[in-house]
Every structure is written in structure tokens, then in C-alpha cells.
Amino acid sequence: MNRIDDVLIALRRVIRATDLHSKHLAKTTGLTAPQILLLQAVRDKGQVTIGELAADVSLSQATVTTIFDRLEKRGFVFRERSTEDRRKVHAYLTDEGVEVLKTAPTPLQEQFSRQFNDLQEWEQTMIIASLQRVAHMMDAEHIDASPVLDVGTLDRQNHQADNRVGYNDDKQR
């Protein structure tokens, strides 16, 4: 096997691991990785606005609002206007949201983050540089992406509607 095959196999394994984990999350919780990350951020932050959540999970405010709307329809979260500043609306978990997080598997990026942080700084730098070079070689450096390891759309319930109006997965991030 040559080096090109080694690289392509490694890339395929990363893509496949992400896909399998996303399917596992969907099967066990009915949620996507970004939805679980958003629920975790609401839980961890307590009283938090959508804008603060967006910054915390590195997604656009519009994307977080869309995901939050879906989570709210499912009864996992709710919004409440601030009593101190009526311009602010805070997000909260419902009891159902707390329960779904208790049984939800750890998102793939949390496992990756723990192991990545255990590496020496030079190893981290090499990995970042290599992956940035690979993205460039695949003409993908211009694609907007959030630091969420998930395949497909951030909100799978919107996937069919987005395809009909011409959105692609990258534009949602």
C-alpha cells in the first residue's frame, strides 16, 4: 500500500467514525451532536441567552435559534424573558431536557478534546498544521465549519426542507 492510500484510509476512518457516532446519538437519544452540545451548554451555563449559547458552542446565532426552536418543540428547553433586563430572553432546560442529558452518550468531540489536550504542544501544532494542509489540498479551506463533529445537517429535522430550497450542509454552519 502506498502513502496516498494510507492517507485516504485514515481520512475515511475519521469520516466513518463521525458518521457512526452521529448515528449512535440519533438512535439512543433522537438528537444530533449539536443538539446535545446545546443542551449541555444550557445546563452548564444556567441562565444564558441564545447569543451567549452561540458563542459557547461556536455556531451562528441563527443556527442556534433554529436548533433551540426544535428542542423547545420537543419539550427539552424553554425561554423566559429576564426580570432584570426585559430586552434579554434566557434559555433553560426542562426536566425532560435534564433527563435526556443523563442518558445521552458523550459527543465525539469531547472524547477527542480530552485526548488532544493530553498531547504535547508540538504534537497538537503538527496535527493542526497537517489537517489545515489536508483541508487546503481538498480545496475545503473556504468551507465554513463549526467545531462540532457531526455529519450532515446540524438539525436533521430540517434536512429535507433545506435540500428543497438549495441549502447545503456547510451553509448551515
The model's pTM is: 0.69
Q: What is the pLDDT of residue 111?
A: 83
Q: What is the pLDDT of residue 126?
A: 96
DSSP notation for 39-96? HHHHHHHSSEEHHHHHHHHT--HHHHHHHHHHHHHTTSEEEEE-SS-TT-EEEEE-HH
Grid coordinates 488532544 are at which residue?
116
Q: What is the pLDDT of residue 87?
A: 84
Strand pairing partners for 81? Answer: 89
Domain parsing of the chain, residue ranges: 3-172
Which CATH code is given to the segment(s) 3-172?
A: 1.10.10.10
**Could you read off the pLDDT tens digit of each residue along the chain, which spans 173 residues?**
699 999 999 999 988 988 888 888 888 888 888 898 899 999 999 888 888 998 888 888 898 999 999 999 999 999 988 788 888 888 999 999 999 999 888 878 788 889 999 999 999 999 999 999 998 999 887 877 766 666 554 444 444 333 333 333 433 33
Q: What is the pLDDT of residue 152?
A: 52
Q: What is the pLDDT of residue 86?
A: 81
Q: What is the pLDDT of residue 72?
A: 94
Orientation of helix 61-73 relative to helix 50-57, angle to 10°: 110
